[in-house]
Every structure is written in structure tokens, then in C-alpha cells.
Amino acid sequence: MTQSKGGDYFISGVIIALMGAICFSTKAILVKLAYRDTEVDTISLLALRMIFSLPFFIAYAFTSSSKQTNVRFTGKQWVSVAIIGCLGYYVSSLLDFLGLQYVSASIERLILFVYPTIVLLMSALIFREKIKPIQWLALFITYAGLLIAFFGEVDFNSQQSDNFILGSVLIFICAFTFAAYIVGSGRLIPLLGAAKFNSYAMCFAAIGVLTHFFITSDVSLFHFSSTVYFYSFLMAIISTVVPSYLVVEGIKRIGSDNAAIVGSIGPVSTIIMAYFFLDEHIYFLQLVGTAMILFGVLLISRQKRKQMTL
């Protein structure tokens, strides 16, 4: 009976993590739809996303802080949560939204999905974790797949190729900053709790985004069409609030390594949704590159899990 419950608990964790990954992958689709169907600038769209998201994160932060099991932050932890939260969901999101002006949703998700390889390299440089030969092979396969997918879509004879490369660079920097967020959060979550950390980190990120907006923009957030608010609200709920807690709960039930493997569905679901909702073409080289990236990331996740069980 206990085994059955344990099995059901694990299976439910897989389903929850899967739903979280798919919800996260809708972000690129919604951003592209907003750019295509409305006249909205990047920082305004990002600010609206955070405005609609913020009440939910504030509510959960307040609820978690009022529990008897609440872990109080030290001054150093408050600063760390603020910095890491802004890095992961202010700086990274801004770069992502900017890059999506120039690249397809499919390429955006493929470039972003190399962040586990950057986490591996950061861990080696910062924490002196040794990279095994099989992990070097995984890195080579992942970046070779990215190049194949990249060259399968870009037309270097087109005048738009410069913008495509610019967008790709912005998304890659986004993957780098998000990897830094993962490395930093990995040190704080065991001390503070995943859901509570997520709530406060997102609150600080929202403050960062809104401060950026009010300092740099002279656009009113109240003059947009209903379509802008519709996409912003969907982005806030479907691809921000809901998946952030689904992934946290999935990690709680099946572990971070298994959750990362389940998250591999992200690029695939984005490619499929981009085909149906954005009329983006699916190229053969893009599929080859996607398969190589998924294989490389899964290989790294598998090796990391082996190291943890030794």
C-alpha cells in the first residue's frame, strides 16, 4: 500500500512538472503574439506581466511568512534573494523579451534550453566541480545541435540576418543570466524553502522591472488596447505564476534532476505551438538540432544524478 502511494506520488509529480514545463514554454508564444497583433514596446509588456503576477506572489509570500514553520531571512539572505531574483526574472526576462523581437519562438526556446550546460560550466569555475569527459561530450553535442538549428533557420543573404544574430545573442545572454540565477538559487532554496524563495524572488524582480519602466519610459500603462492586457494577463498567469509553483511542487515530489529531465519537453512543445499559433515553419535541421540539444542536456542531467548518488 505504501509503495502504491509512493508510486502515485511520484507519477503525480511527473505530471505536475510536465504541466509546469509546458506552461513555461507558452511565454515565447504569447510574447510573439503580443508583438505581432499589438503595438507594445518591450518594457511596457514586461511591466504589465509583472503587475498582473505580483498580487499572487505577494499573497503567497505573506501566507508563507505567517506560518509557524516560517524561516526568517537574515539581512544577507534578503540581499541575496533580491539580487538573484532580479537576475533571474528581471534581467533575464528583459533580454528574452528583447531577443524575441528578432528570432522565432522555436529558436528562442532552443537557445534558452542550453542553460544547464552553462550551469555546469559555472559550477566548474566557481565551485571547482570537475567536469568529466562524458560531460564535455554532452557540452559538445549540445552546442553542435544549437549551431545546426541556428544555421537551419538563418538566411545570411537576407537583410534580416543581422537582427536574427542580435536576437540570438540577446537570448544566449539571457540563458547565461538565468543559469546564474539557478546556481545562486540552488544555494538558497535548501535554507529558505523553494516556494517561499520563489515568491520573494519574483516580488523583487517585479520591483526591478517596474522601477526600470518608470525611470526609462514615458508611455502610460493605461492606454493600450484590450488585446495587450489580454496577452499580458495570460502571460502572467499561464506562463509565470502557475508554472513557477507547479515546477516547485514537481521538484518537491520527484527531485530537481528528474524535474529537469521532464522539463525537456519545453523546446518540443514550443516548436509545436509555434507551428500552430504563429505559423512558424519547422525545418529539418531545426529538428536535428533540437534532438542533439535534448540529448546533450539529458546526458548532463543523468551524469549529475549519478554524481549525487555516489
Which sign does the torsion angle of CA 209, 26, 23, 15 carry?
negative
Extents of the domains making up the chain: 14-309
- What is the pTM assigned to this prediction? 0.85
The predicted structure's pLDDT at residue 172: 94
Angle between helices 226-236 and 2-37 (to 10 degrees): 160
- Predicted confidence (pLDDT) per residue in 171-187, tens digit: 999 999 998 988 888 88
The predicted structure's pLDDT at residue 301: 67
The predicted structure's pLDDT at residue 68: 60
Which sign does the torsion angle of CA 20, 289, 107, 92 carry?
positive
Q: Which of 298, 309, 270 has the alpha carbon at shortest distance from 120?
A: 298
The predicted structure's pLDDT at residue 303: 58
Q: Which stretches in the chain have pLDDT values below 70?
A: 1-6, 68-69, 154-161, 256-257, 260, 301-310
User: What is the spatial distance between Cα 287 and Cα 281, in angstroms, rounded to a whole number?
Assistant: 11
The predicted structure's pLDDT at residue 192: 84
Q: Which of 59, 94, 45, 15 has the alpha carbon at shortest distance from 203?
A: 59
